[in-house]
A and B are shown apart, each in its own frame.
Chain A
Amino acid sequence: NAGVTQTPKFRILKIGQSMTLQCTQDMNHNYMYWYRQDPGMGLKLIYYSVGAGITDKGEVPNGYNVSRSTTEDFPLRLELAAPSQTSVYFCASSTPQSGSGAIQYFGAGTRLSVL
């Protein structure tokens, strides 16, 4: 059981380049999330999706785009990479549970450096 898989694990980008961080889950979860974690900081929500075709902005969406064409995949797109986007990116998924908090399952992360 793979859970949440993120690729690549590491990437170095030049300023202005673009890239897509891939995320796929095999747990048939409806909800998926993208977070970034900067040094000494908690996880900040970039975008989330509550199902295929439905996405919404989180706390720090500027500079990013997402799409959700299938239940399994939730790619994160950086169009014009900037040094401020140097971070560790985590994808997560969950199944909503009424009246309680759904446990999120995380991928191993993508460490991105923009130079």
Chain B
Amino acid sequence: DQQVKQNSPSLSVQEGRISILNCDYTNSMFDYFLWYKKYPAEGPTFLISISSIKDKNEDGRFTVFLNKSAKHLSLHIVPSQPGDSAVYFCAALNSGGYQKVTFGTGTKLQVIP
């Protein structure tokens, strides 16, 4: 039972354009969402997060949008840069518990110079 789904395994975007990565979840108990970025041969690193009480969080070129009614979140990267090429994992948790995180399967982003 995949509670966090990233339906696009890969995405290619031209440098300077917008990258939009999508994520859907099914568990209504999730109230905190995170995006992690992973380069080859490295561990994931935290990118940006959002609480369920918000619908948008912005950090520089990265913005995460949350649509609770649709159980959908998205990560926007503007403008995209070649260094953004990586695998992006969506993650969700119930902040009231032991904070066990459920990860999506990842989307591999390629930014073409």
Residues of A within 8 A of B (CB): 4, 31, 33, 35, 40-45, 48, 50, 56, 58, 90, 92, 94, 96-109
Interface of B is mostly: loop
- CB atoms of B101 and A45 under 8 A apart: yes
Write the chain A residue with the least CB distance to B43. A106
Known pairs A48-B100, A90-B44. 11 more at Cβ < 8 A? A4-B43, A41-B105, A42-B103, A45-B101, A58-B100, A96-B99, A97-B95, A104-B44, A105-B46, A108-B41, A109-B43
Partner of A42, one of B4, B33, B49, B95: B4
Q: How far is the CB of B103 from chain A (nearest CB, A)?
A: 4
- CB atoms of A108 and B103 under 8 A apart: no
Q: How far is the CB of A103 from chain B (nearest CB, A)?
A: 5
Number of interface residues of B (CB under 8 A): 25
Report the bound CA distance from A56 to B100 in whole Å.
Answer: 11
- CB atoms of B44 and A101 under 8 A apart: no
Q: How far is the CB of A55 from chain B (nearest CB, A)?
A: 11
- CB atoms of A40 and B103 under 8 A apart: no
Q: If the complex has contacts A42-B105, A101-B49, A101-B93, are A108 and B43 also in contact, measured as CB distance less than 8 A?
A: yes
Report the bound CA distance from A8 to B32 in whole Å.
Answer: 33
Partner of B103, one of A4, A43, A48, A102: A43
Those of B3-33 within 8 Å (CB) of chain A:
4, 6, 9, 32-33
A96 contacts across to B, CB distance below 8 A: 98-99
- The 9 tightest CB contacts between A and B, nearest first, are A106-B43, A101-B32, A42-B103, A43-B103, A42-B105, A103-B46, A106-B44, A101-B93, A108-B43
